[in-house]
Structure 1
Amino acid sequence: MSKKVLYTLEFPVRCSPTILYEFLSTPSGLQEWFADKVDERDGVFSFNWNGSDEKAEMLDSELDKFVRYRWMHSPKDEYFEFRIERTEISNQTILIVKDFAEKKEIKDQSQLWEYQVKDLFHRIGS
């Protein structure tokens, strides 16, 4: 079995960090763009896509800065993260997505994230 590697994607977004954070960290926000249905109980998020359920625990978060999740079926050192940064010069908001995939799957996984983030930006009007 091939070991998964961390990869990072960056997306400029026209949105305040506060609004963006809500879409990345709350069940109602995530349900708008990430999954068909999202529930949360005691820090464990249940994501549903077309009747298929996946659970992820929220590992860490900082208000308006980042949120990190780990799929319950994944190894302890693998996670996916949404980080919100501001550029110094233009003060533009950047969404940074970090995730793990096998090297040969990074391109496909990146395209999936790009599709998902495009839907997110549509929902927030960016």
Structure 2
Amino acid sequence: MSKKQLYTLEYPVRCSPSILYEFLSTPAGLQEWFADKVDERDQIFSFSWNGSIDKAEVLESEENSFIRFHWLHAPKDEFFEFRIEKSEVTNQTILVINDFADKKEIKDAGQLWGYQVKDLFHRLGN
């Protein structure tokens, strides 16, 4: 099995970091755009899509800055992360997504994130 590679996607967002963080770090916020249903218990998030459930634990987070998840079924060194940054030049809020995929699947994975982020932006009124 080939080792997955870390890749990064960046999206400019027109909203405050605190509002964006709510959509990235709470079950209610994530359920708005990321999965059909989201529950959380003891730092373990359960994500449901079309009846199938996948679980991820929160590895690390800092309010209004970032949250890092680890899929329970994935290798220990893999994660997906939502990071909120400010552009030094434009002062615009930037959503940075870090995730892992096989090299040949990075383009498809990036497209999937793009669709989901588009849904997030719709919810945010972007």
**TM-score normalised by the chain length of structure 1:** 0.99
**C-alpha distance in structure 2 between counterparts of 1:100 and 1:109, whole Å:** 9
**C-alpha distance in structure 2 between counterparts of 1:109 and 1:78, whole Å:** 15
Unaligned 5+ residue runs, structure 2? none
The reply on whether 1:18 has 2:18 as its aligned counterpart is yes
**C-alpha distance in structure 1 between counterparts of 2:89 and 2:106, whole Å:** 31
1:4, distance to aligned residue in structure 2 (A): 0.2
Unaligned 5+ residue runs, structure 1? none
For residues 55-78 of structure 1, the C-alpha deviation after alignment (integer angstroms, 9 at most, x for no partner) is 000100001000000000001100
Name 1:59's counterpart in structure 2. Answer: 59
Moved over 2 A (4+): none
**C-alpha distance in structure 2 between counterparts of 1:107 and 1:72, whole Å:** 24
**C-alpha distance in structure 1 between counterparts of 2:28 and 2:13, whole Å:** 20
User: Which amino acid counterpart does residue 99 of structure 1 have in structure 2?
Assistant: D
Number of positions where the alignment pairs a residue of Structure 1 with one of Structure 2: 126
**C-alpha distance in structure 2 between counterparts of 1:124 and 1:14, whole Å:** 8
1:31, distance to aligned residue in structure 2 (A): 0.2
**C-alpha distance in structure 2 between counterparts of 1:44 and 1:86, whole Å:** 28
Please provide the CA RMSD for this pair. 0.4
- Name the % identity: 74
What are the residue-to-residue correspondences of 1:100-111 with 2, within 5 Å? 100-111=100-111
Name 1:27's counterpart in structure 2. Answer: 27
**C-alpha distance in structure 2 between counterparts of 1:67 and 1:44, whole Å:** 13
**C-alpha distance in structure 1 between counterparts of 2:87 and 2:74, whole Å:** 32
**C-alpha distance in structure 1 between counterparts of 2:95 and 2:112, whole Å:** 15
Name 1:3's counterpart in structure 2. Answer: 3
User: Which amino acid counterpart does residue 64 of structure 1 have in structure 2?
Assistant: N
What are the residue-to-residue correspondences of 1:61-100 with 2, within 5 Å? 61-100=61-100
1:89, distance to aligned residue in structure 2 (A): 2.1
